[in-house]
């Protein structure tokens, strides 16, 4: 099939043929136009942190070995890495802050559209933060909780609250290394300070602060985003739905939600059920309103409502190319600026909603949480009105559609296990499940779309490794049927038996990118239950097709938390052999885990299996 060299996804291949026929440029065309990409950038040895530059280091030693200020490759690579971590941590954490602001507004009664959906979670979190709950109303508790959490961003306590979930041994290690995150914003700001010209020039010191900043994301910003979303929108429970571009419906108004925050998307799901708006759609000849997701907004509503997911990161343009999308509603992160150009060739309206993310050529309908439902209805109506502009001759929806089971929050996993982690620990001890791998992250057009995720995951489950995951990696798995209990047939005998007895898939979808915090919580709980450190557990992490700065922060906090992590695309650090050595070897003696880079997913799975076996042996299993 044409384009099978750039994606394994049949729906995407079909849309790429359509794009070619209709002369539409996609991300793959633009990647081609960028060739050859800058060698200095790929190695991480260019710097433009001051106006004496830009400077670059000659990797072959024939040209300059230092920038104008004297910074050499080690400093420049480490500084660039630190800035990427800062950006990724900022993205996750600012997302978290916005969710807490919504909780704050709801608790104060400033918005009638959001309420506390999960009282048990609210109370559990209040308990964790030392907030009295007995005899108090939900809003009263929520106001105290939101206030306490907002303080985590500029904390004066010297330590983030969720760090208390971490095993004692690891907390002591972070304290000894002086990488315990003190406040979320503080660490991010300090990254920018340290990487300013003439501040921190020691690559080890820079990388260590990168680890601290990333921990402020993993155990701070991302944790907050997940936990407070659960309070406001409900703790996910196992839910079924369908995935891939075939979820679009020819006779419906199709709305795609794309981005990351659940605040608006959750409201859109309800607004699309409004009788009056549905009547408007019917007047225009539509049989209904079909709300679908892409990327992590998709994951948020999929986890809680079973809303269909149209695709992952590299399918955002392809969804528009179907010619069947009335509106793509975007908030923040992973939204290609190219969308407005692609949409210009069809009738699709791109509607931006966040004051932080405007797109030239898009319509901006600012989302105001104080008038959430009103805004959501306005947006849905805009999409409905656009149905009449659809050009039937341009519509081509691929047939590919696959069912999924998602919604595996920590609470849902515990419920499936009968209330405690013990059955899972027993399965790991007996070897029925040899270990657990977290597979997360994006797509990257430099890499065959979905191939890394799917090949890696299939290799692991075949070898009795339970896979948990988030983000676009899990959308890839959904599309290939790996999120169905029936996929246990592809698993090794041990994992298959466990999955069949519990009725769960061998790959557990735990949510959006910020929900890697759920994976950290499970890892910490397992280590606590066994009285060991996280780094002692038979666990591995992988981001087979990563591309975003958020993924850099994620990788850093997963490794700092003690979990061996394999990257499937090469990070821009190779210009400094010292930084590479530190990340891939030296970190073992520092945080008890390292990064590996392996672009071949079969070989990457081999590395994960080897690592898991090593940890099993050390535990005497």
CB of 46 to ligand SF4, least distance (A): 9
User: At a CB cut-off of 8 Å and minimum separation 6, what does 77 contact?
Assistant: 43, 44, 45, 203, 572, 573, 575, 576, 579
Distance CA 180, CA 172 (A): 9
Long-range contacts of 101-104 (CB under 8 A, 24+ apart): 101/146, 101/150, 101/369, 102/228, 102/232, 102/263, 102/369, 103/142, 103/145, 103/146, 103/149, 103/228, 103/231, 103/232, 104/142, 104/143, 104/146, 104/147, 104/150
Q: Which of ligand SF4, ligand MSK, none binds 48 (CB below 5-8 Å, type-dependent)?
A: ligand SF4
| Residue 68 sits in the site that holds ligand SF4 (CB under 6 A) | yes
| Residue 258 sits in the site that holds ligand MSK (CB under 6 A) | no
Q: Which range touches ligand SF4 (CB under 6 A), out of 45-53, 92-100, 388-396, 564-572?
A: 45-53
CB of 338 to ligand MSK, least distance (A): 15
CB of 260 to ligand MSK, least distance (A): 6
Q: Which of ligand MSK, ligand SF4, none binds 54 (CB below 5-8 Å, type-dependent)?
A: ligand SF4
378 by Cβ neighbours in 10 Å (0-12 / 13-18 / 19+) ranks as: middle
403 by Cβ neighbours in 10 Å (0-12 / 13-18 / 19+) ranks as: middle
Q: Which of ligand MSK, ligand SF4, none binds 479 (CB below 5-8 Å, type-dependent)?
A: none
Beta pairing partners, 258: 294, 330
Distance CA 520, CA 547 (A): 21
Q: List, in sequence order, the alpha helices (H) in 109-118.
A: none
| Residue 50 sits in the site that holds ligand SF4 (CB under 6 A) | yes
When the beta carbons of 201 and 470 are compared against ligand SF4, the nearer one is: 201
Q: Which of ligand MSK, ligand SF4, none binds 558 (CB below 5-8 Å, type-dependent)?
A: none
CB 367 within 8 A of CB 354: yes
CB 561 within 8 A of CB 520: yes
DSSP code at position 348: P
Among 27, 47, 106, 477, binds ligand SF4 (CB under 6 A): 47
Q: Which of ligand SF4, ligand MSK, none binds 2 (CB below 5-8 Å, type-dependent)?
A: none
Q: How many residues bind ligand SF4 (CB under 6 A)?
A: 14
* DSSP letter string, 68-102: TT--BHHHHHHHHHHHHHHHHHHHHHHHHHHHHHH
Q: Which of ligand SF4, ligand MSK, none binds 472 (CB below 5-8 Å, type-dependent)?
A: ligand MSK
Query: Smallest Cα–Cα separation from 143: which of 106, 112, 168?
Result: 106
300 by Cβ neighbours in 10 Å (0-12 / 13-18 / 19+) ranks as: buried
| Residue 215 sits in the site that holds ligand MSK (CB under 6 A) | no
Among 27, 126, 268, 295, binds ligand MSK (CB under 6 A): 295
Q: Which of ligand MSK, ligand SF4, none binds 53 (CB below 5-8 Å, type-dependent)?
A: ligand SF4
Counting Cα atoms < 13 Å in the Cβ hemisphere of 327 gives 29
When the beta carbons of 260 and 349 are compared against ligand MSK, the nearer one is: 260
Distance CA 59, CA 48 (A): 17
| Residue 513 sits in the site that holds ligand MSK (CB under 6 A) | yes
When the beta carbons of 191 and 334 are compared against ligand MSK, the nearer one is: 334
| Residue 195 sits in the site that holds ligand SF4 (CB under 6 A) | no
Q: Which range touches ligand SF4 (CB under 6 A), out of 49-57, 207-215, 238-246, 578-586?
A: 49-57
CB of 228 to ligand MSK, least distance (A): 18
CB of 333 to ligand MSK, least distance (A): 6
**Phi, psi angles (nearest 5°) of residue 257:** -100, 125
| Residue 313 sits in the site that holds ligand MSK (CB under 6 A) | yes
Q: Which of ligand SF4, ligand MSK, none binds 47 (CB below 5-8 Å, type-dependent)?
A: ligand SF4
When the beta carbons of 434 and 550 are compared against ligand MSK, the nearer one is: 550
Please give the structure tokens belonging to residue 231.
């309070």
Counting Cα atoms < 13 Å in the Cβ hemisphere of 574 gives 13
Point out which residues bind ligand MSK (CB under 6 A): 260, 295-296, 313, 334, 441-442, 471-472, 512-513, 548, 550
Point out which residues bind ligand SF4 (CB under 6 A): 47-50, 52-55, 67-69, 71, 76, 197
């Amino acid at each position: 099939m044409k384009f099978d060299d750039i994606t394994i996804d049949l729906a995407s291949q079909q849309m790429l043929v359509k794009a070619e026929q209709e002369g539409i440029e996609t991300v793959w065309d633009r990647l081609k136009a960028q060739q050859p990409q800058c060698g200095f950038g790929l190695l991480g040895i260019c710097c433009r942190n001051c106006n004496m530059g830009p400077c670059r280091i000659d990797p072959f030693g024939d040209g300059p070995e230092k920038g104008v200020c004297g910074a050499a490759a080690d400093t420049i690579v480490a500084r660039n890495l630190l800035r990427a971590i800062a950006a990724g941590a900022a993205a996750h954490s600012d997302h978290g802050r916005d969710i807490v602001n919504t909780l704050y507004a709801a608790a104060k009664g400033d918005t009638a559209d959001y309420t506390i959906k999960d009282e048990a979670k609210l109370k559990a979190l209040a308990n964790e933060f030392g907030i009295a709950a007995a005899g108090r109303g939900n809003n009263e508790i929520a106001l105290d909780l939101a206030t306490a959490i907002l303080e985590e961003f500029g904390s004066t306590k010297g330590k983030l609250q969720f760090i208390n979930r971490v095993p004692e041994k690891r907390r002591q290690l972070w304290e000894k290394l002086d990488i315990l995150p003190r406040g979320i914003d503080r660490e991010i700001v300090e990254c920018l300070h340290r990487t300013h010209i003439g501040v921190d020039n020691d690559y080890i010191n820079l990388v260590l602060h990168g680890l601290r900043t990333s921990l402020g994301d993993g155990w701070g910003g991302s944790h907050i985003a997940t936990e407070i979303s659960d309070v406001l929108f409900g703790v996910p429970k196992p839910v079924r739905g369908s995935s891939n571009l075939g979820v679009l419906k020819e006779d419906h108004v199709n709305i795609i939600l794309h981005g990351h925050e659940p605040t608006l998307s959750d409201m859109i799901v309800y607004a699309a059920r409004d009788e009056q708006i549905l009547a408007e759609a019917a007047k225009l000849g539509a049989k209904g309103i079909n709300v679908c997701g892409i990327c992590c907004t998709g994951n948020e509503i999929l986890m809680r409502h079973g809303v269909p997911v149209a695709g992952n990161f590299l399918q955002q343009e392809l969804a528009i190319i179907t010619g069947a999308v009335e509106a793509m509603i975007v908030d923040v992160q992973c939204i290609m600026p190219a969308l407005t150009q692609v949409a210009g060739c069809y009738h699709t309206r791109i509607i931006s909603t966040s004051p932080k993310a405007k797109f030239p050529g898009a319509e901006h309908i600012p989302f105001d949480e104080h008038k959430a439902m009103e805004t959501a209805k306005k947006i849905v109506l805009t999409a409905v009105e656009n149905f009449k502009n659809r050009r039937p001759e341009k519509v081509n929806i691929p047939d590919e559609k696959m069912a999924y089971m998602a919604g595996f929050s920590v609470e849902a996993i515990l419920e499936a296990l009968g209330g405690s982690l013990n059955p899972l620990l027993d399965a790991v001890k007996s070897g029925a499940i040899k270990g657990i791998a977290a597979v997360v992250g994006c797509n990257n057009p430099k890499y065959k779309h979905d191939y890394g995720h799917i090949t890696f995951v299939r290799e692991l489950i075949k070898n009795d490794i339970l896979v948990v995951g988030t983000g676009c990696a899990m959308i890839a798995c959904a599309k290939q049927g790996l999120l169905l209990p029936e996929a246990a047939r592809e698993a090794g005998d041990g994992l298959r038996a466990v999955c069949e007895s519990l009725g769960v898939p061998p790959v557990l979808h735990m949510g959006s990118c910020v929900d890697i915090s759920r994976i950290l919580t499970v890892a910490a709980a397992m280590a606590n239950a066994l009285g060991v450190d996280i780094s002692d557990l038979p666990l591995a992490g992988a981001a087979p097709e990563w591309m975003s700065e958020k993924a850099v922060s994620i990788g850093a906090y997963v490794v700092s938390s003690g979990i061996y992590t394999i990257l499937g695309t090469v990070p821009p650090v190779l210009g400094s052999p010292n930084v590479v050595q530190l990340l891939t070897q030296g970190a073992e003696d520092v945080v008890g885990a390292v990064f590996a880079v392996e672009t071949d997913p079969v070989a990457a799975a081999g590395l994960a299996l080897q690592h898991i076996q090593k940890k099993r042996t050390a535990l005497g299993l």
